[in-house]
Amino acid sequence: MKKGICALLAAILLTSCSASLVNLKYKDGQLINKRLDLAYNAAPVNYEPVSVGKPYAYYGEIDMTLYEIPGMDKKLWLSQENIGSGTTVFYSDTITLPTLSEMQPDSIYVCAGENVTISVVTIDDKDLVAELINLFETGKETTWPNLDTVDTYELKFYGDTYPHLYYNLTYGEFSRGIFLYDRYTKRCVEIGDLLEEWVANEWEE
């Protein structure tokens, strides 16, 4: 009996909490609210909120709450609960997502871990960051090795143009070279010894 009462109270509490949020429905690949003229797309895995704020909307079909991203317009940007690099950002269909270079990052947080990512090094050499971005966007595309892994890290690109968002790429060191990889587009570029100084002086300490 007690378990049944607890379950009922939990259901009532959940309903009352979700009732105060903007109700979203799924249609044609978007989360929408017609009355408020809202329509959100799910951003690729590259995009991650720097922080997550108050709950704003609720999609009842899968019991998912979406949160404000502090510093950003909630009608244009929302976020799933913050779970690190796996956090999904949602953006309005009235805007276009910025590319990595358009975000104009000038630093990179090098992060380790799976469910919880921890920054182990900050690369704050602006020229190096710009060179790395240019190499990734214009360099010769190759295949992500997958085998004989030495180390992998998540690189979170950050800058003042979009101070509330990270752009994530995967760094991988393998027996046959060092590569940068986009988990969404599958683009992979070999970066050689571009970050060698940081690897030698920081990551191996």
Tell me the domain boundaries of the chain. Answer: 21-92, 107-203
Residue 65 and residue 57 in contact, taking contact as beta carbons nearer than 8 Å: yes
| pLDDT single digits (tens) 65-98 | 999 999 999 999 999 998 877 899 999 999 999 9
| pLDDT single digits (tens) 102-125 | 999 999 999 887 656 788 889 999
Which residues in the chain belong to E strands, given as ranges? Answer: 22-27, 30-33, 38-42, 47-49, 55-59, 64-67, 77-79, 89-92, 107-112, 118-123, 149-158, 165-174, 177-181, 188-190
**CA distance linking residue 149 with residue 195, whole number of Å:** 17
Residue 32 and residue 25 in contact, taking contact as beta carbons nearer than 8 Å: yes
pTM over 0.75: yes
| pLDDT single digits (tens) 150-159 | 888 999 999 9
The closest of 83, 90, 94, 85 to 68, measured between CA atoms, is: 90
What is the per-residue pLDDT for 149? 87
What is the per-residue pLDDT for 146? 82
